[in-house]
Amino acid sequence: MRQSQIRYLGLVAAALLLVAACGSTTGGTASPSAKVVKVGLVTDIGGLNDKSFNHLADVGLEKAKVDFHIQGDVTESHTGGDYIPNLTHYAQLNYDLVIGVGFLMQQAVGTVAGQFPTVKFAIIDGVGTDAKGNDLKLPNVVSLVFKEQDAGAMVGVIAGMMEKDKLTPGKTNVISAVGGVSIPPVNHYIAGYKWAATMEDPGIKVLVGYSNDFTDPAKCQSVAKAQIAAKSEVVFQVAGGCGLGALQAAGQAKLFSIGVDADQGTADPSVIASALKKVDVATYTAIQSVVNGTFQSGALTFSIVNGGAGYQLDNFPGGALPADIQTEVDSVMAKIKAGTLTPPDTIPAG
Amino acid sequence: MPRIPEPLRRLTRGLAVPVGSVLFAFVVGGLIVAGTGGDPVVAYQGLVCGGLGILCSGGENSALQISNTIIFVTPLLMAGVAVALPFRAGLFNIGAEGQYLAGAVACTAIGVKFSTLPAPILLPMVLLGGMAAGAFWAGIAGVLKATTGAHEVVTTIMLNYVAQWLVRYLIIGGPLQLQGGFSVSSPIGPGAQLATILPNDNHRILFGLPSSVYRIHVGLFIALAAVAVFAFLLWRTPLGYEIRAVGQSQRAARYAGVSVRRTIIVTMLIAGAFAGLAGAVQIAGVDHNLTDIYFSDTTGFDAIAVALLGLGSGVGIVLASILFGALHAGGSVMQADAGISSSLVLVLQALILFSIGANFLSAIKVRLPAIGRSPSTPPAAIAAAATATEATGAPPEKDTS
């Protein structure tokens, strides 16, 4: 029944959305005279209000609408079965760019992009695949991927320096990360985090656990609690909606936590910083390439270098990083930008 | 006033509650849209265009819209039957979702394991396997109900959870996970796939689009046959008579020599087989592998609404499935074209259910006649009783002899 409960919660959300939609424009009908670039965005089942990448993708679209005077339309997917019809809808109307948000839509994008070779597609965090998960390398698909390890490294520096400077309550020299599932985008984050923390504080112990889930906060909470029992004092969540439970576990234990993807400072008072994956920048860039006629298939990678990854300081005690930590964070960021430091994309051993 | 012929009068009275409920939902939904600054006419135009392929203004392809709706309708038909049949026996099968997933899992497992077998052997195997798995899943609840009296609402809800997490386990780190993939299984063999009605070809243009976009498959005929089997079973067989007898009064049925326990178990087994078939057909006809799509599936829950709105009759299930399928498919187009959140569709679905459940239409002197042949229990009464039962948690007339 949980799905149906979610749906009825969805009703409430729907009512709120409708209220929120009040006063916004009622339709996306643009003037037919000028050739207006049309962009369709299809969210995954997280919906627009996920406080994460679906939301950020829409932010990027809205910004592009203002800057480029394009027509931008959004469809939310309520079930996985909606992916293909929703993508097909924009494709059959000959939209210039159809954006699928998230890894879960890989196969749907692969299928629909194959049917509409003249329509351009972008997929965030994935590629267009066939049923066996093989990248179809379609000439009309661009994948928007991230160097999550860059963002992970920035928060890893903060966590490592906190332990090194003995700013944590127990001074245990142990920190941790809660991953959703052991897949590349998750492990990239954790790799950067562990690498940077170890670089700052070679004696540090970095615990890594997985909840095998991206939606249920209870599961991440229990993983985080186990890590806290093993003396972890900073918990980095890399598990989407599930990870909110990890943030809460750290809050309940009066310890520190780090958010992921979007700014999660409001999710729990324990969140000292968030590792950012700027899906809005990626979406905007993809739209820009279509507007400028510079669209290229293949992959567009977003990292600290091009402003597609970074960090955000949240409820850090005292409101600002201590000077030495700030200096170190800035220095590591500069070195990554300069290419003299490269965070690994696989989790370092040890 | 001219006399209305009796059959027509019966028909209109029979349709009063469902049609009234749908109208009520659309009027209230329209008020919500208007009250929040939207234009209900534009919204409903998008909904109708997306659902039925008519009244389209934005250049949508009618054939594609109809095909998309049918894709959603097909599993609803079979899952709707899986809820409607137990209704007739006084059982509230909330577990169609779990049974649907069990069918999908079995179909995938068999279709992957024996992927090299030819279609004449493999296709029956995956479909029958799906039915068996669904029957097994529902049978657990049926046996518990018949032996310990455990309420089927509780057990089927719990079995839904088990099935949902089982699917998750199987394709995330479990034995069905595709090597090197995440949250997907291997595709089933070609022999296990149901043919699409139009050629699955990216290069052949039909109705203005590549013919592969029309995903309708022969599973539609399987689904319609399932509804026909349901109607035949219920009204033309001794078993159907027993099911209805148990549904009306377990005491009377027992007095008449019907084994209530056996009927409960058999009803659940058959219902589960229908839901399992729905899951198997969805894999064999549409998705061809078990993926994370099934984590967010709601077919089995929508089926409850379909069975209620369809008043537990075959024709009613077909009509209600078309309505819910069209709403599902239409919501996306409405959001894309009219900028109205497709969640409005969920509001409409809930309002329809609410108005049936609240039964206030009958309070305004619309008595519901039997839709079938014999003057049996009004299905809406069964449905209302079942809803009331769920709400209060009280078991129905108990068979603890």
Asked whether residue B83 is domain-assigned, the answer is yes
B350 contact A CB<8A: yes
Judged by CB atoms closer than 8 Å, whether chains meet at A80 and B39 is answered as no
Give chain A positions within 8 Å (CB) of B345.
Answer: 78
B334 falls within a domain: yes
> Is the pLDDT reported for residue A162 higher than 80?
yes
B332 touches chain A (CB under 8 A): yes
Tell me: the pLDDT tens digits for A309-342?
999 999 998 889 999 999 999 999 999 999 999 9
Using alpha carbons only, what angle is made at residue B221 by residues B220 and B227, rounded to the nearest 5 degrees?
Answer: 95
Q: What is the pLDDT of residue B393?
A: 38
What pLDDT digit, counting tens, does each position of B145-201 carry? 999 999 999 999 999 999 999 998 999 888 998 887 678 899 999 999 999 999 888
Q: Is residue B1 part of a domain?
A: no
Which chain B residue lies closest to A40 (C-alpha atoms)? B336
pLDDT band (50, 70, 90) for residue A265? very high
Residue A51: the pLDDT is 74
CB contact under 8 A, B161 and A84: no
**Which single residue is written with the structure tokens 């208007």?**
B34
Which residues of B are less than 8 Å from A24 in CB distance? 37, 339
Residue B212 counted as domain residue: yes
Contact A21 B36 (CB under 8 A): yes
Distance from CA of A89 to the nearest CA of B (A): 7
Which tens digit of pLDDT belongs to each residue from A273-296?
999 999 999 999 999 999 999 999
Tell me, yes or no, if B160 comes closer than 8 A to chain A by beta carbon: yes
Structurally, how many domains does chain B consist of?
A: 1
Residue window 117-156, chain B: list those with CB within 8 Å of chain A.
none
CB neighbours of B214 closer than 8 A, spacing ≥ 6? B63, B64, B67, B196, B197, B198, B206, B207
Dist CA B332 CA A108 (whole Å): 16
Q: What is the pLDDT of residue A231?
A: 96
CA-based nearest distance A328→chain B, Å: 37
Would you give the DSSP letter of residue B241?
A: H
Q: What is the CATH number of the domain that holds B15?
A: 1.10.3470
Please check the confidence at residue A34 and state whether its pLDDT lies above 70. no
Which residues in chain B are closer than 8 Å to A76, comparing Cβ atoms? 335, 341-343
pLDDT given for residue B359 in this prediction: 67
DSSP codes, A194-251: HHHHHHH-TT-EEEEEE-S-SS-HHHHHHHHHHHHHTT--EEEEESTTTTHHHHHHHH
Identify the residue among A89, A134, A135 best suited for mutation to test binding to B, counting B beta carbons within 10 A and taking the highest. A89
> Residue type for B174, please?
G
DSSP state of A276: E
Query: What is chain A's mean pLDDT, rounded?
Result: 88
Q: Which pLDDT belongs to residue B343?
A: 86
What pLDDT is recorded for position A185? Answer: 87
- Chain B positions in Cβ-Cβ contact with residue A181 (cut-off 8 Å): 172, 182-183
Indicate the SS3 state at residue A18: helix
Shortest CA distance to A348 belongs to which of A196, A233, A236, A221?
A: A196
Q: CA–CA separation, A134 vs A113, rounded Å?
A: 14
Separation CA B166–CA B112 (nearest Å): 17
Residue B142 · residue B264 · CB < 8 Å: yes
Contact B193, B281 (CB under 8 A): no
The range of the structural domain enclosing residue B92 comes to: 6-392
Contact B128, B135 (CB under 8 A): no
Instruction: Domain ranges for chain A, please list them.
Output: 35-146+279-302, 148-276+320-338
A35-146+279-302: CATH, from 3.40.50.2300, 3.40.50.300, 3.30.300.30, 1.10.10.10: 3.40.50.2300
Q: A163-181, pLDDT tens digit by residue? A: 999 999 889 999 999 998 8
Helices A2-21, B299-309: inter-axial angle, 10-degree rounding: 80
Write the CA distances from B61 to B50, B205, B262, integer angstroms. 9, 13, 50
Whether the predicted pLDDT of A19 surpasses 50: no
Half-sphere exposure of A303 (CA within 13 A, CB side): 20
Residues (pLDDT < 50) of chain B are 365-379, 381-382, 384-401
Res A241: pLDDT: 82
Q: By the 8 A CB rule, do A188 and A345 touch?
A: yes
Reported ipTM: the value is 0.83
* CATH-assigned architecture of domain A148-276+320-338: 3-Layer(aba) Sandwich (3.40)
Structure tokens, B399: 């068979």
Provide the sign of the torsion angle of the four alpha carbons A16, A22, A27, A30, taken in this order: negative
Tokens of B145: 């109900």
Q: Which of A202, A283, A277, A186 is nearest to A236 (CA)?
A: A186
| A66-92 mean pLDDT | 94
Residue with tokens 């923390």: A197
pTM of the model: 0.82
| Distance to chain A for B67, nearest Cα, Å | 10
With H, G, I as helix, E, B as strand and everything else as coil, classify residue B114. Answer: coil
Using a CB-CB cut-off of 8 Å, the residues of chain A touching B335 are 73-76
Contacts B186 to A, Cβ<8 Å: 132
pLDDT of residue B372: 42
Decide if B248 is inside a domain: yes
Task: Name the residue type at position B391.
Answer: A
User: What percent of chain A stands above pLDDT 90?
Assistant: 74
pLDDT band at A250 (very low <50, low <70, confident <90, very high): very high
What pLDDT is attached to residue A321?
Answer: 92
Chain A residues with CB under 8 Å of B338 CB are 26-27
